[in-house]
């Protein structure tokens, strides 16, 4: 049995690339190039097996002249060779580094600001202990302060009024004392 050997026609592949290869080479998403191909703005050559190839030179020329699209992260040399200009690459890398440094600095400033506003759990516990201790002492001193006033009173309403006034004065004094402490800390 003799098999037929198909001879492949040699086609000029000099500037033909698959769509995927073109997108990878120039750093573009497949979805960005396909609309130009579907609309016929970038010509396509079909292989025998159905693969679509695009002429690299024509695609680059169209995209450069008719779109705002930059090819790759860095623009190409004027000769469209696809090679990256070393000077432009260094400028791009330096700009990217500076941008990342600024982002890191901004994040550091945000962290510093947060650290100044956060209080540890131990500090909160100490503050509550001090506040409750102060209130406890003031409440325990209340009977000794108001008992002389209440001894001579028989009117229930009057007794209630005296206790209410004394508790209010005591709490006002505590708040005023605490506010003064806060002001003193901020001014020092």
User: Which tens digit of pLDDT belongs to each residue from 15-30?
Assistant: 788 888 888 887 778 8
Q: Is residue 88, in this structure, part of any structural domain at all?
A: no
- Cα 92-97-101 angle, rounded to 5 deg: 150
Cβ-contact 64, 57 below 8 angstroms: no
pLDDT at 74: 41
Instruction: Provide the CATH number for the domain around residue 74.
Output: 1.10.1660.10
pLDDT at 185: 72
User: Which tens digit of pLDDT belongs to each residue from 24-75?
Assistant: 887 778 888 888 888 888 888 888 787 888 888 888 887 777 665 555 444 4
Q: Is residue 35, in this structure, part of any structural domain at all?
A: yes
Given 80, 108, 130, the domain boundary residue is 80
Q: Is residue 112, in this structure, part of any structural domain at all?
A: no
User: Which tens digit of pLDDT belongs to each residue from 88-130?
Assistant: 777 878 888 888 999 999 998 888 878 777 667 888 888 888 8
pLDDT at 133: 86
Q: Is residue 22, in this structure, part of any structural domain at all?
A: yes
71: how many CB neighbours lie within 10 A of its CB? Answer: 19
**128 and 75 housed in the same domain:** no
Angstrom distance (rounded) from CA 65 to CA 70: 11
**125 and 76 housed in the same domain:** no
Higher confidence at residue 116 or residue 133? 133
- What DSSP state is assigned to residue 18? E
**183 and 126 housed in the same domain:** yes
Closest CA to 32 of 81, 76, 68, 82: 68
Angstrom distance (rounded) from CA 49 to CA 34: 19
User: Which tens digit of pLDDT belongs to each residue from 155-179?
Assistant: 889 888 988 998 888 888 888 887 7
Please name the helix (run of DSSP H) or strand (run of DSSP E) that holds residue 76, with its range, or none: none
Angstrom distance (rounded) from CA 63 to CA 66: 5
- Expressed as residue numbers, the domain containing 46 is 16-80
Q: How many folded domains does the chain comprise?
A: 2
Q: Is residue 93, in this structure, part of any structural domain at all?
A: no
User: Which tens digit of pLDDT belongs to each residue from 135-145?
Assistant: 888 888 888 88
Please name the helix (run of DSSP H) or strand (run of DSSP E) that holds residue 182, with its range, or none: helix 156-187
């Amino acid at each position: 049995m003799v098999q037929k050997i198909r001879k492949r026609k040699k086609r000029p592949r000099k500037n033909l690339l698959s769509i995927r290869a073109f997108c990878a080479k120039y750093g573009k998403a497949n979805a960005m190039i396909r609309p130009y191909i579907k609309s016929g703005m970038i010509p396509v050559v079909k292989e025998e097996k159905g693969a679509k190839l695009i002429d690299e030179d024509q695609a680059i020329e169209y995209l450069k002249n008719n779109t705002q699209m930059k090819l790759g992260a860095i623009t190409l040399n004027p000769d469209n060779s696809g090679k990256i200009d070393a000077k432009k690459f260094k400028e791009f890398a330096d700009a990217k580094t500076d941008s990342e440094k600024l982002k890191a600095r901004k994040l550091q400033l945000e962290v510093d600001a947060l650290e100044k506003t956060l209080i540890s759990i131990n500090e909160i516990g100490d503050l509550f202990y001090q506040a409750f201790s102060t209130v406890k002492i003031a409440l325990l001193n209340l009977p000794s302060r108001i008992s002389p006033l209440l001894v001579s009173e028989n009117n229930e309403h009057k007794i209630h009024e005296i206790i209410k006034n004394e508790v209010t004065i005591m709490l006002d004094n505590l708040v005023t004392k605490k506010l003064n402490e806060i002001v003193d800390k901020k001014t020092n």
